Amino acid sequence: MPVILIVDDESHIRRLLRQSLEEIEEAGCELIEAENGREALELIEKHRPALVLLDVMMPEMNGFEVCHTIKNELKANDTYVIMLTAKGQEIDRIKGMECGADEYITKPFDPDEIVEKSYKIIKMT
Amino acid sequence: MPIKISTSKELYSMLIRFVNAAGVKLEIIETGETTPYFSNLAGEIQSEEVFNVVYNGKKIFEIRYEKNRLSAAEYAGSIIREFIEKKDIIAETLDIYKEINLLYNFCEKIPYASELEEIADYILKEAHKKIRFDYGLITRRTANCGIGIICNKLFLPESSLLPPLMKLEEFIFLDKKADIINVFPDNGQLLINCPNSIIYSPLEYHNQIAGVIILGLNSGSDRFFTAQNLKLLKTLSSIFAAVIENVGFAQEQRNIFSQIIYSLIETVEKLDQSSNGHSAKVSELCVGLGKSIGLLNSQIVKLKLAALLHDIGKIGLKSDDYEKHPEFGCEILEHLTKLNDILPAILHHHENYDGSGFPSGLKENNIPLFSRIIAVTDGFDQLVKKYHCDIQTAFEKLKQYSRTKYDPEIIDALRIYLELP
């Protein structure tokens, strides 16, 4: 069963993401959540999710550091990472930080876009 | 909103925690399901005690419980109700989230769009993400051109629907109100082949109706538009109407500006009938020369304006002050701030390459490039028009003043432009 990990320090955002992905969950995908980078890395090592939706702005360990660790230290290259960045942040500059993320989506995210992309990634369409 | 709960693990674990902590035995069955969603009643206990969980007036679950444990069943019921309520709130939030997102994207996009068709297209595409209509139509009404239809071909209505939709458009245009029509009147006064459901909104700005947006569902669709759909459509319509207005203003401004310019040119030419068409010819030559020496399009536009207006100062001339006309020209034109950067070109169009010209006696490359080009083309057209020289002769005469009056490079550029040997 493919696993999708949602990482955001704000619980209501996790809630919204989870709700957006409800139909994917019903189609047989497992959704798990982490509220900080450390927790996220533990869960990634344990579950090897197909997709991580990763918030950039988090206290302690930010999304870039988490992503960098996923791609370089955990060598989880089959884990697809979508970074959630705030609207107004320049995507180009963020990309320049070279954390190895696969994709970027701005917040407030478009729920349909998230669902569409997730389907593609876990190849359940 | 009906939600199927049976798949929720979250609620399931909440209920387990409750029954364990409270030490009760319950069996919980979702309405319409045969197998219990949750049960620790362990078959052998037959319970006749039933508590119904009601949400928004509908029975959604029934809970069987052991004798005398009604309050536990009630509490489990409240856990379920609150869970569903929370789900509903999140679903609603998500829905609004989608709308905000749409409006964000829309407002961000608008300043970059210069074509109405492009924006109309974008409106339909974005609105479709949220409203999921089957066909959409935007009309554009202008005072002189009547009604135009802007359609994205993805959302084109069937051709048989177009006549009734245009009838509806006429109605909306006069009625000036946005609305939903979910059930059409039987007498079919408004539409002959009644579509299933329609929302529409006029594109209104300052009491002017610039057009209409109509979105519809095909007949046979099991969906209907909602008040929320209509509200979103109205918002998009107002933004679009404002854009139409702005684009109109910008167009009008450009028109007024060019009308002013042409009136000024006409004034100059009326002064001296023999110079008829001189400004136009000089500007035509300047554009050709400008292209052949590789000026940018934006520069060519300015050069063209400067050439058209170079003799405007002649309006103020008396018989003995011919040399003042470049300055007079600048004084006249400086009131049009949009022309400020072509004033030097006009001021110096009678400077000579060797420094013997007027008004400042500038030399060679100190003379603005546009002035040097205008000087050459001005001289050339005078030879052709006033002295009736043919092109070859006019050019030869002009060439005699290369380096004294005229910039040799521009003279050479003119030769190339005129395709002379």
- Report chain A residues whose CB lies below 8 A from the CB of B3: none
Give the mutation candidate from A22, A85, A107, A116 for the B interface (greatest B CB count, under 10 A): A22
Distant-in-sequence, close-in-space partners of A100: CB < 8 Å, separation ≥ 6: A67, A68, A70, A71, A72, A81
β-pair type (A103-107, A80-86) = parallel
| Measured CA distances, B360 to B311, B348, B363 (Å) | 17, 8, 9
CA-based nearest distance B295→chain A, Å: 33
Reported residue count of chain B is 421
- Report chain A residues whose CB lies below 8 A from the CB of B100: 108
pLDDT in tens, A68-108: 899 888 887 789 999 988 766 666 666 666 788 888 888 88
The whole-angstrom separation of Cα B369 and Cα B417 is: 17
Res A93: pLDDT? 64
Mean pLDDT to the nearest integer, B368-390: 91
What backbone phi and psi angles, to 5 degrees, belong to B326? Answer: -65, -40
In three-state form (DSSP H/G/I as H, E/B as E, the rest C), the secondary structure along B352-400 is: CCCCCCCCCCCCHHHCCHHHHHHHHHHHHHHHHHCCCCCHHHHHHHHHC
B91 close to A (CB below 8 A): yes
| Residue bearing tokens 């890395």 | A41
CB contact under 8 A, B100 and A108: yes
Closest CA to B286 of B384, B364, B370: B370
CA-based nearest distance A111→chain B, Å: 7
Nearest CA in chain A to B3: A22
pLDDT in tens, B283-298: 999 999 999 889 998 8
Res A77: pLDDT? 79
pLDDT at B64 over 60: yes
Least confident of A21-35, A70-84, B145-159, B378-392: B145-159
Q: Which residue in the set B7, B91, B98 is minimally distant from A110, CB to CB?
A: B98
The rounded mean pLDDT for chain B is 85
- Biggest CA–CA distance in chain A, Å, is 37
Give the three-state DSSP class for B404: coil
pLDDT at A125 over 50: no
DSSP state of B189: S
pLDDT in tens, A2-12: 999 999 999 98
Res B374: pLDDT? 94
**pLDDT range class, residue B1, cuts 50, 70, 90:** very low
pLDDT in tens, B343-361: 999 999 999 999 999 999 9
Reported residue count of chain A is 125
Mean pLDDT to the nearest integer, B171-193: 71
pLDDT at B114 over 60: yes
B107 close to A (CB below 8 A): no
Mean pLDDT to the nearest integer, B291-316: 89
Q: Which residue in the set B87, B94, B102 is minimally distant from A20, CB to CB?
A: B94
B89 close to A (CB below 8 A): no
What backbone phi and psi angles, to 5 degrees, belong to B33? Answer: -105, 150
Please report, for the domain that includes residue A46, its CATH number. 3.40.50.2300
> What are the structure tokens assigned to A123, written together?
């190849």
| Measured CA distances, B39 to A85, B16, B59, B100, B288 (Å) | 44, 9, 19, 42, 90
Domains of chain B: 9-103 (no CATH), 115-250 (3.30.450.40), 272-417 (1.10.3210.10)
Res B112: pLDDT? 73
pLDDT at B220 over 50: yes
CB contact under 8 A, B98 and A111: yes
E strand or H helix that includes residue B136: strand B135-142
Res B272: pLDDT? 67
Mean pLDDT to the nearest integer, A103-120: 87
Cβ contacts below 8 Å, chain A against chain B, sum to 29
**pLDDT range class, residue B192, cuts 50, 70, 90:** very low
Contact B282, B269 (CB under 8 A): no
pLDDT at B47 over 70: no
Closest CA to B18 of B61, B74, B76: B76
Res B129: pLDDT? 84
CA-based nearest distance B100→chain A, Å: 8
Res A23: pLDDT? 86
β-pair type (B146-150, B38-39) = unpaired
Domain count, chain A: 1
| Measured CA distances, B297 to A95, B54, B287, B308 (Å) | 35, 72, 10, 17
Give the mutation candidate from A90, A110, A112 for the B interface (greatest B CB count, under 10 A): A110
pLDDT at B130 over 60: yes
The whole-angstrom separation of Cα B300 and Cα B321 is: 31
Residues of A near B (Cβ–Cβ under 8 Å) read: 15-16, 19-20, 25-26, 87, 108-112
B125 close to A (CB below 8 A): no
Give the three-state DSSP class for B119: helix
Mean pLDDT to the nearest integer, A24-45: 91
Give the three-state DSSP class for A87: coil
The whole-angstrom separation of Cα A37 and Cα A55 is: 9
> In terms of pLDDT, which residue wins out, B260 or B5?
B260
Out of B54-68, B101-115, B132-146, the most confident range is B54-68
Mean pLDDT to the nearest integer, B153-165: 82
| Residue bearing tokens 């109309």 | B120
> Can you give the residue range of the structural domain that contains A27?
3-122
